[in-house]
């Protein structure tokens, strides 16, 4: 199975927060966990999101092996296996790991895996007005990035 | 399990325009997505539109007509509500005349055709809108200058974009082409950004002009000065299509760059560079925002900027500022039967004698309305109907607005929630959201499109505003249609469509023709671009535009600066809220929980303010509190504050309307208004800022 990647081009993020709401809606989340969020620093914006790291610190930190990486390279957490110890929140270098207070478990970006199965794009990427959220088959995606930068 | 039905419709969380696919299951909208086939938004959708399910199904939403009995709200039937209103309005008409009823709305949200029809058939000239200082003021001022509103033609490939006091992707990502702007910019257009605050676009811009708030008209005159001095104007256009060039150039000569630098705080070399870039890069467009209108310079500033588009040959040129050709539907004016309002009724329009340009586009200034209620001069306003507006929060000198609406004998409010304004009403009528209406969207705007907003669901007993005006009108003996859709058929008739066929089509675009003036001139009395306005001259105003100093600034009121040393730049827009709306939407409030005031770190240090502190902002009219955020991208003398704040979570009837409401600080005295159109200065006054302390 081809690996999938998603990346925010920070330079083009203008802090509209549409991606955050699209994500909340897609995952049925209320106030609390923010699987993607955008921080403001003066005229700059910093999107905080899961990078689905190849060598993911969250996977390594989890004492219950509740976090795994699938064949597409998507790092997923099992809410059944999670014991809510928050080790993964501490381990994540991007502060992307979130905690669902209601469920008492950690929660994270699943790259809209159900949408991908239906051949649809991750929700956050569909609403961005500057197209700063790009995603795709990892190899083709990075080739396209190289070309656009050269 | 029942199936999910997908319905194509059009958002209206701001003014509207973005395409939406609504997912409906068991009579409920469970999700919305951007419509990739939308000619306006191309699939993108902002945080406000995406939150519609939290608005439509909010636990605090009022789902039934309500009547206030002994200070408490009680549910009543629609028939009871409409009969009560009709009876009361008829009593007022009999005793005081129809002009004693004020009909009002907030910003343009696609009900003006119906609202104005209701008011005209009622016989009242007193329609209170935001138009005096927002968009319609621009329409009116360009109407008398070049016949129509010139809009950035992003599809025509501008090579230079002047973003003048606007951040379209943040504050208004609708038909005014936030996405189109971005695409034109990404194709390599040069960007000039005029903004007192260094935001995303200022940072990206080729040139950023950090202007003293409110001095835009002077800066635009500075641009003209450079263009004239260096002969960068389009000689053919100036010779053939400008009325009053000689008089105008004489006026421009008074704005040498030394003077303009002193007024605007923008370095004169930078002004020269920007003016050159705009004038020589072809085509170039100017995208203007409301800060250019919300001052005493409203009409003149708009006219000077229209002059820039004209003299550089960018008016109605591809990629410049164009006069859009709209689909051939019935206009708001025709639908609303403006012509049926009698001459005698028009003559009674409050402030009509004073603000003749405002009267030309059929609205009144709020100050005139509040005075008529509070002083009963020149005659009393006794009853009112307000639709989708929260003037207690959004109008200048908010305490006066509050007192006036409180005193009004009988008030009807159409809204989704019990806002601080709605709490002052006698009857509350529950409006449908955009998910609950059939309408030809954007017909009121002149941006070249109309769009089919289709009803997806019904919620409670809410009615779309159009139906409310129609049924109340019929109760009062007015001529309307049987159904909302019948009225839409009438609207669409000239296009050879009815609602059912239009709904399937989704949208209609006018057929664009550029350089229309070459065939038939401009729609002004002289057929030319009137830099010297024959209309203003006839009405007794200065026919040539100029910069007039902001009424309360360190220049005009130096004696106030000891107590109020800073310039308040109010009305800062954020992407999650639309004016006073959305503070009760959990997803949006999570992103922006508190009202924010931005100050320079140096100012913060001087005043003992830390990032995140609650601070008082105080002007000669009062003080409110917001939360401090440090930003070195604003001038240390300037304080930038959000507007529109109230607290739906505070359950007493005031809902915290006076805690963080920046419009309590703004002035609305007649001498501070634009003389021709009555625009209120919602943007600039003097202030002080200091920590709230331990309270």
Pairing of strands B439-441, B449-453: antiparallel
Q: For residues B597 and B594, give the distance between their C-alpha atoms in angstroms, rounded to a whole number.
A: 10
Query: Closest Cα of chain B to A133: distance in Å?
Result: 12
Q: What is the CATH number of domain B1-57+433-461+497-519?
A: 3.30.200.210
Report the 3 state secondary structure along B322-345: EECCCCCCCCHHHHHCHHHCCHHH
User: In b/e form, how buried is each residue of B571-601, taking b as 16+ CB within 10 angstroms?
Assistant: bbbbbbbbbbbbbbbebbbbbbeebbbbbbe
User: Which residue is associated with the tokens 């005159």?
Assistant: B221
Among B35, B198, B584, B590, most A C-beta atoms within 10 A, so best to mutate, is B590
Top-confidence residue, B108 or B6: B6
pLDDT tens-digit series, residues B540-598 = 999 999 999 999 999 999 999 999 999 999 999 999 999 999 999 999 999 999 999 99
pLDDT at B695: 58
Fold entry, domain B60-131+365-431? Rossmann fold (3.40.50)
Chain-centroid distance of CA B321 in Å reads 19
Region B361-378: mean pLDDT is 96
What does the alpha-carbon distance between residue B448 and residue B191 come to, in Å, rounded to a whole number?
24
Two tokens at B282?
């072809």
Task: State ipTM.
Answer: 0.96
Q: What is the pLDDT of residue A145?
A: 78
Is residue A18 less than 8 Å (CB to CB) from chain B? yes
Given a cut of 90, whether residue B209 has pLDDT beyond it is yes
pLDDT tens for each residue of B286-304: 999 999 999 999 999 999 9
**φ, ψ for residue A124, nearest 5 deg:** -60, -40
| pLDDT for residue B175 is more than 80 | no
The boundaries of the domain holding residue A140 are 4-149
B34·A127 Cβ contact <8 A: yes
> Sorting pLDDT into bands at 50, 70 and 90, what band is B442?
confident
What residue of B is the nearest CA neighbor of A21? B47
- Do the Cβ atoms of B198 and A127 come within 8 Å? no
Nearest residue on chain A to B592, alpha-carbon basis: A17
Is omega for the bond preceding B378 within 30 degrees of 0, making it cis?
yes
Inform me whether the C-beta atom of residue A132 falls under 8 Å from chain B C-beta atoms.
no
User: What pLDDT shows up at residue A150?
Assistant: 59
* Rg of the Cα atoms in chain A: 15
Given CATH 1.10.3470.10, say whether it is the number of domain B136-325. Answer: no
* Cβ-nearest to B587 among A16, A24, A45: A24
Give residue B255's pLDDT: 98
Beta-carbon separation of A15 and B575 below 8 A:
yes
C-alpha to C-alpha distances, A19 to A29, A128, B18, B170, B572, nearest whole angstrom: 13, 6, 16, 13, 22
Chain A residues whose CB is inside 8 A of the B45 CB are: 18, 22, 127
Chain B interface includes A70 (CB < 8 A): no
Q: State the pLDDT at residue B174.
A: 56
> Is residue B230 predicted with pLDDT exceeding 90?
yes
Mean pLDDT of chain B: 96
Q: Which fold has domain B558-691?
A: Barwin-like endoglucanases (2.40.40)
Q: B221 φ, ψ to 5°? A: -65, -35
Nearest C-alpha in A relative to B590: A31
The predicted pLDDT at position B687 comes to: 98
Question: Taking residues B656-669, what's their average pLDDT?
Answer: 98
State which residue of chain A sits closest to B182, comparing Cα positions.
A130
The share of chain B scoring above pLDDT 90, in percent, equals 95
Summarised one tens digit per residue, pLDDT across range B404-420 is: 999 999 999 999 999 99
Instruction: Answer whether A99 touches B (CB < 8 Å).
Output: no
CATH of residue A121's domain is 3.30.70.20
Size of the A and B interface in Cβ pairs below 8 Å: 79
Taking contacts as CB-CB distances below 8 angstroms, the residues of chain A near B53 are 25
State the Rg of chain B over Cα. 24
* pLDDT band at residue B444 using 50, 70 and 90 as cut-offs: confident
Please state the rounded mean pLDDT for residues B231-256.
Answer: 98
Report helix, strand or coil for B12: coil
Give A108 to chain B, closest Cα distance, Å: 17
The whole-number average pLDDT for the span B652-672 is 97
**Residue A149 pLDDT:** 67
Substitution target in A43, A123, A134 with the highest count of B β-carbons within 10 Å is: A43
- Model pLDDT for residues B62-119, shown as the tens digit of each residue: 999 999 999 999 999 999 999 999 999 999 999 999 999 999 999 888 999 999 999 9
> Which of B10-19, B617-626, B630-639 is the least confident region?
B10-19
Q: By the CB < 8 Å criterion, does A31 face chain B?
A: yes
Q: Which of residues 288-327 of B touch A (CB under 8 A)?
A: none
Q: Is B172 on the interface with A (CB under 8 A)?
A: no
pLDDT in tens, chain A (150 residues): 689 999 999 999 999 999 999 999 999 999 999 999 999 987 899 999 999 999 999 999 999 999 999 999 999 999 999 999 999 999 999 999 999 999 999 999 999 999 999 999 999 999 999 999 999 988 888 887 777 765
Domain boundaries, chain B: 1-57+433-461+497-519, 60-131+365-431, 136-325, 558-691
Under 8 Å between Cβ of A76 and A68: yes
B residues 428-487 closer than 8 Å to A (CB): none
Check: CB of residue B359 under 8 Å from CB of residue B345: no
Query: Is residue A43 within 8 Å of residue B203, measured between CB atoms?
Result: yes
Banded model confidence at residue B169, pLDDT cuts 50, 70, 90: confident
On whether the CB atoms of residues B325 and B306 are closer than 8 A, the answer is no
Nearest chain B residue to A123, by CA? B33
**Mean pLDDT (whole number) for B149-170:** 94
Give the tokens for residue B313: 């040959």
Q: How many domains does chain A have?
A: 1
CB of B575 within 8 Å of any CB in chain A? yes
Are B287 and B164 contacting, i.e. CB atoms less than 8 angstroms apart?
yes
For the segment B631-653, the average pLDDT, to the nearest whole number, is: 97
* Predicted local distance difference test score (pLDDT) of residue B1: 62
């Amino acid at each position: 199975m081809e690996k999938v990647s998603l990346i925010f081009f920070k330079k083009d993020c203008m802090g509209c927060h549409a991606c955050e709401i699209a994500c909340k809606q897609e995952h049925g989340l209320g106030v609390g966990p923010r699987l993607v969020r955008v921080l403001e620093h003066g005229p700059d914006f910093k999107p905080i999101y899961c990078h689905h790291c190849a060598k993911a610190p969250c996977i390594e930190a989890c004492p219950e092996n509740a976090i795994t990486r699938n064949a597409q390279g998507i790092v997923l957490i099992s809410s059944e296996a999670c014991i809510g110890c928050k080790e993964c929140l501490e381990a994540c270098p991007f502060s992307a790991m979130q905690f669902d207070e209601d469920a008492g478990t950690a929660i994270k970006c699943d790259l809209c895996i159900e949408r991908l199965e239906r051949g649809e794009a991750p929700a956050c990427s569909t609403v961005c007005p500057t197209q700063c959220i790009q995603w795709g088959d990892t190899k083709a995606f990075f080739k396209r990035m190289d070309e656009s930068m050269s | 399990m029942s199936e999910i039905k997908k319905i194509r419709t059009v958002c209206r969380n701001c003014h509207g325009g973005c395409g939406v696919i609504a997912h409906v299951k068991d009579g409920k909208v469970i999700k919305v997505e951007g419509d990739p086939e939308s000619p306006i938004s191309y699939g993108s959708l902002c945080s406000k539109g995406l939150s519609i399910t939290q608005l439509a199904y909010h636990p605090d939403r009022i789902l039934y007509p309500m009547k206030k009995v002994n200070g408490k709200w009680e549910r009543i039937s629609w028939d009871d509500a409409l009969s009560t209103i009709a009876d009361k309005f008829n009593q007022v008409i009999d005793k005081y005349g129809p002009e004693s009823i004020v009909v009002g709305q907030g910003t343009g949200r696609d009900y003006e055709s119906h609202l104005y029809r209701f008011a005209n058939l009622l016989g009242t000239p007193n329609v209170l809108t935001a138009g005096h200082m927002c968009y319609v003021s621009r329409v009116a001022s360009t109407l008398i200058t070049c016949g129509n509103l010139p809009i950035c033609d992003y599809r025509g490939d501008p090579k230079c974009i002047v973003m003048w006091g606007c951040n379209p992707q943040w504050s208004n990502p609708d038909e005014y082409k936030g996405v189109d702007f971005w695409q034109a910019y990404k194709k390599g257009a040069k960007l000039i950004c005029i903004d007192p605050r260094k935001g995303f676009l200022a940072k990206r811009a080729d040139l950023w002009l950090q202007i003293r708030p409110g001095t835009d008209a002077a800066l635009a005159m500075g641009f003209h000065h450079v263009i004239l001095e260096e002969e960068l104007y389009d000689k053919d256009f100036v010779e053939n299509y400008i009325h009053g060039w000689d008089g105008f150039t004489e006026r421009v000569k008074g704005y040498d760059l030394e003077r303009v630098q002193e007024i605007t705080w923008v370095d004169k070399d930078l002004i020269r560079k920007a003016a050159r870039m705009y004038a020589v890069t072809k085509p170039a467009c100017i995208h203007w925002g409301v800060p250019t209108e919300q001052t005493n310079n409203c009409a003149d500033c708009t006219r000077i900027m229209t002059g820039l588009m004209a003299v550089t040959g960018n008016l109605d040129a591809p990629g410049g500022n164009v006069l859009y050709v709209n689909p051939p539907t019935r206009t708001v004016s025709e639908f609303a039967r403006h012509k049926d309002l009698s001459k005698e009724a028009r003559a009674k329009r409050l402030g009509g004698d004073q603000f003749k340009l405002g009267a030309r586009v059929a609205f009144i200034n709020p100050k005139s309305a509040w005075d008529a209620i509070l002083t009963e001069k020149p005659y009393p306003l006794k009853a009112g109907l307000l639709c989708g507006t929260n003037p207690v929060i959004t109008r200048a000198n908010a305490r006066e607005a509050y007192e006036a609406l409180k005193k009004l004998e009988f008030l009807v409010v159409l809204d989704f929630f019990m806002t601080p304004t709605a709490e002052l009403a006698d009857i509350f009528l529950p409006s449908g959201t955009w998910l609950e209406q059939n309408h030809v969207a954007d017909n009121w705007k002149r941006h070249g499109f109309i769009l089919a907003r289709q009803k997806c669901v019904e919620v409670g007993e809410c009615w779309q505003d159009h139906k409310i005006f129609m049924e109340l009108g019929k109760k009062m003996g007015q001529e309307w249609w049987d159904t909302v859709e019948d009225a839409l058929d009438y609207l669409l008739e000239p296009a050879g469509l009815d609602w059912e066929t239009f709904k399937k089509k989704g949208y209609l675009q006018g057929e664009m023709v550029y350089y229309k003036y070459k065939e038939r001139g401009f729609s002004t009395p002289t057929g030319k671009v009137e830099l010297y306005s024959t209309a203003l001259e006839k009405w007794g105003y200065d026919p040539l535009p100029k910069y007039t100093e902001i009424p309360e600034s360190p220049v005009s009121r130096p004696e106030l600066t000891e107590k109020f040393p800073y310039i308040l730049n109010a009305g800062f827009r954020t992407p999650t809220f639309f004016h006073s709306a959305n503070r009760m939407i959990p997803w949006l409030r999570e992103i922006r929980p508190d009202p924010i005031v931005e100050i320079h770190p140096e100012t913060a240090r001087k005043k003992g303010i830390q990032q995140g502190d609650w601070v008082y902002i105080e002007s000669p009219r009062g003080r409110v509190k917001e939360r401090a955020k440090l930003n070195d991208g604003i001038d240390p003398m300037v304080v930038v504050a959000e507007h529109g704040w109230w607290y739906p979570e505070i359950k007493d009837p005031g809902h915290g309307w006076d805690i963080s409401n920046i419009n309590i600080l703004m002035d609305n005295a007649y001498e501070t208004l634009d003389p021709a159109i009555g625009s209120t200065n919602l943007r600039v006054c003097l202030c002080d800022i200091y920590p709230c302390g331990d309270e």
